Structure 1
Amino acid sequence: MCSHYQTLKERDRYWRHFGVEPPLEPGKGDMWPGYLGTFIRRHPHADVEDEAVPEREALPGLFGLVPHWSLDTKITRHTYNARSETVASKPSFREAWKHAQHCIIPAEAFYEPDWRSGRAVPTRIARADGEPMGIAGLWSSWRSPKDETVHSFTMLTINADAHPLMGLFHKPTDEKRMVVVLPDDRYDDWLNASPEHKHSFLRPYPAPALQAMPASGVHATLSP
């Protein structure tokens, strides 16, 4: 499961790749559950057919979904990833999934532990072509006790037992998981996906299109 990822720090790079201006407070470079980052969603007024209204908008939000019924934001420690197999039924995520509150989470890379040496080696996983990642997620809004609207988001994950790269991470006895990295040309398709079509997006990103590098700076091999 992905609890640590790296955001885009350059506003121009954010705009060039995702076609939307980042919020004034884009968040921290290294993201952990409960941190303030950014997500991209379909603009709520995109259907008005006004050229002044963009198709997408970027908002600040907490990493970890805060459902409307939550008493506080501490739940983000447990809701930063949504399993595709249970997202439709789990109380924390089912409303966002039911109402197709899809989002894209901009990232430079995400991190997973490589246990092949017998100890956890933090490993940075990025696109091999150096381009940013658009990770499929869900967003939600929550009213705080101070009557403030707080946005939040979670990353969707899928099984990766058979993935040539992502199958190398986590402990040998653990199920292998990976976040859903969207193809660049499917961003708007994901944001607009209907309930009957959204499962088609939950597919593994090709291993040759990813690059893994331990924190030491030495490239990870693809062999178990």
Structure 2
Amino acid sequence: MPIQYEPTRDPRHFLAGFGLSVPEEQAPVVRPGAQGTFIRRPRGDREGAAMTGRFEAARGRWGLIPLFSQDREVPYTFEARGETAASERNFYQPWKRGHRCVVLADALYRRGDTEDTVVRVSRADGEPLALAGLWNGWRAPDGECVESFALLTLPAVEAPAQRRVVFLREAWVDDWLHCPVEETAAYLRPYALDKLVRRAIVRDPSIPLPKRQPPG
């Protein structure tokens, strides 16, 4: 199911949790295909790179661009199924390379029961949601390195036919980013529903929701 999220902009969450400075200006709501900020362990494969901390913030397209792609406009890579991402053509390279990331969001928006409503999901304690994801660096034909990411999903606890983004427990974030590849799946677990606030709201009809993804 297509989703949107409200990125965290409060600098305290980046500084206290990761020792990072305030990220550059972010849109009020990030939609599939737009640029978003994600946190990862520092890249060590860049020329002159110096790993001085455990985390770094990066900007990239929400919609992972696979290494084999000939074009950056790849459809339907906004979400990666947690059960199968390790073997899916679009996602297995980032998975096996340990290219995991976290997106901090004050709220996540998904479709409601009707076309004119959305459900806003946030944490009951007011802290940001830590959305689990995979990132990739893709080399464009002109030589530009384009970074991108996808959010991981699992079947919804309350409605198994639907998908929900993986929310990481706060104590797991560091381990998620730094654990060995073979331990990745252990962190993909349903989040406790009683720790979330879900509110149905009537959406602004001038702001279209993204189209539904085809099954599969």
State the TM-score, normalizing by the size of structure 1: 0.81
Matching residue within 136, 142, 149 for 2:145: 149
Counterpart Cα distance in 1 of 2:201 and 2:161: 23
What's the secondary structure of 1:32's corresponding residue? coil
RMSD: 2.2
Q: For 1:54 and 1:40, locate their aligned partners in 2 and report how far apart those are by CA, in whole Å.
A: 12
SS in 2 for 1:73: coil
Kindly indicate whether the alpha-carbon contact (under 8 Å) linking 2:117 and 2:202 is maintained by their aligned counterparts in 1: no
Residue 85 (1) aligns with residue 83 (2): yes
Moved more, 174-183 or 105-114: 174-183
Q: Report % sequence identity.
A: 36
Q: Is the 8 A contact 2:64 2:77 kept in 1?
A: yes
Shift of 1:119: 4.5
Does residue 1:101 correspond to 2:96, yes or no? no
In the aligned structure 1, how far is the partner of 2:198 from the partner of 2:155? 18
AA at the equivalent of 1:148: E
Matched length:
198
Does the residue aligned with 1:197 lie in a helix, a strand or coil? Answer: helix
Amino acid at match of 1:27: Q
Unaligned runs of 5+ in 1: 46-50, 168-173, 218-224
Letter in 1 for 2:166: V
Asked if the contact 1:8–1:29 (Cα under 8 Å) also holds between the matched residues in 2, the reply is no
Q: CA deviation at 1:114?
A: 2.0
1:192 matched residue in structure 2: 178
Q: Please name the residue that 1:121 is paired with.
A: 117
Deviations 1:99-142 (A, max 9, x none): 11111111111111221xx5552111010111011111100001
Whichever residue aligns with residue 129 of structure 2, its letter is: M
Alignment partners' CA distance in 2, 1:190 and 1:207: 21
Give deviations 1:38-72, integer Å, cap 9, x for gaps.
11111135xxxxx9811000011111101122122
1:36 aligns with 2:35: yes
Once the two structures are TM-superposed, the CA of residue 29 in structure 1 deviates from its matched residue by: 1.9
Tell me if structure 1 keeps the 8 A contact 2:43–2:51: no
- Work out the CA distance in 2 between the residues paired with 1:138 and 1:74: 17
- Cα displacement (A) at 1:12: 3.4
1: CA distance, partners of 2:51 / 2:28: 31
**Partner in structure 2 of residue 4 of structure 1:** 4
Q: Give, in whole Å, the separation in 1 of the partners of 2:5 and 2:18.
A: 18
Check whether the contact 1:34–1:73 (CA below 8 A) recurs between aligned residues: no
Would you say the 8 A contact 2:82–2:152 is kept in 1?
yes
The aligned residue for residue 53 of structure 1 is 52
Which runs of 5 or more residues in structure 2 are unaligned? 45-49, 204-216
Name the CA shift for 1:26/1:15 in 2 (closer, same or farther; >3 Å). farther
Counterparts of 2:41 and 2:25 in 1: how far apart (Å)? 18
Tell me the TM-score normalized by structure 2.
0.84
